[in-house]
Amino acid sequence: MKIRILFLFTLILVQQVWAQDQQLRENIPVHDPVMIKQNDTYYLFCTGRGIGMWSSKDMQHWKREKPVFAEAPAWAVEAVPGFRNNHIWAPDISYHKGTYYLYYSISAFGKNTSAIGLATNTTLNPEDKDYKWIDHGKVVESQPGRDRWNAIDPNLITDSSGTPWLSFGSFWDGLQLVKLNKDRLRVAEPREAYRTIASRKSEPTERGNNPIEAPFIIRKNKHYYLFASIDYCCKGADSDYKMIVGRSKNIEGPYVDKAGVPLAKGGGTLVLQGDQNWHGVGHNGIFSEKGKDYLVFHGYDANDNGRSRLRIEQLNWGKDGWPVPVVVVEQ
């Protein structure tokens, strides 16, 4: 009898939690968000068990959807010992010729035992009969002792000739860029050809001495703009995350800041930093709609014990072609 009562209590609790998640919510808790729109619905993907997924009609009120993966991809368990679908990191979403491409990160925390995988879908609407994520396995992998970069935080960019590229990286030797095959499923270059496009150090360094990560590249006004996050996330009230930017007329770089300093040599023009209401702010994606650009990122709420929250702020551009520093507006 006690076992039956306990089972019923647990079932009711699970149902209540799920019902709460189906309610529309504001100021949702996320890390590393990216956003895209299909028809009249915005879809947001973020770090979380199985890859977190949310939907919204207005970018303010959000409904939690089921995770992308119910179980960990088999290849990920093999690549990262001990991984069991707990917190797949930093997804990136894009659309190309009828297919949505979702790159994601698998890693051992604090190590470059890491890999970037890819899943695709023809729709993002979970109610659509064709909704099904197909995993294509590993795209890029880093290993301790072999690689001086870390294969996490992917972002896809297509250059002016239609060639797809993947930027990625966190700490170690900084942010990397590699060309992909036309099908976007695999890299088209050997590891020796990967390019370091941003770093806080002018020379190779160890993991903890180069706090830069989360590249995001957009093409605008005849330039490629590289956004990145520097300093430290994930420390709640002690986070001092910031966003920087540089630009180049060539997808391969060199990317330089407003003062002309290469990002690969420690440069970077400040876009956004924390204030009295938000501690660290960073790991941004960029979403564009109707001629407007938006920064999609997470910040550590100074008024809620440093908990991480979703932030969406309009990104404006100056007459000189550079982003105008963002001022976070309290909602």
287 contacts 36 by C-beta, under 8 angstroms: yes
Q: Could you identify the residue written with the tokens 């808790």?
A: 29
Instruction: Tally Cβ neighbours within 10 Å of residue 299.
Output: 25
What residues form DSSP beta bridges with 134?
Answer: 120
The set of residues, in sequence order, having a beta carbon less than 8 Å from that of 224 and lying 6+ positions away, is 157, 159, 217, 218, 247, 248, 249, 250, 251, 255
- Could you tell me whether strands 307-315 and 292-301 are parallel, antiparallel, or unpaired per DSSP bridges? antiparallel
**Angle, CA of 214, 220 and 225, to the nearest 5°:** 30
Sign (positive/negative) of CA torsion 254, 156, 233, 171? negative
What is d(CA 223, CA 264) in angstroms, rounded to the nearest whole number? 17
Q: Which of 32, 231, 257, 301 is catalytic?
A: 32
User: What is the C-alpha separation between 136 and 92, in angstroms, rounded?
Assistant: 15
| Given 153, 173, 213, 257, the catalytic residue | 213
Q: Tell me if residue 32 is catalytic.
A: yes
Active-site amino acid positions? 32, 213
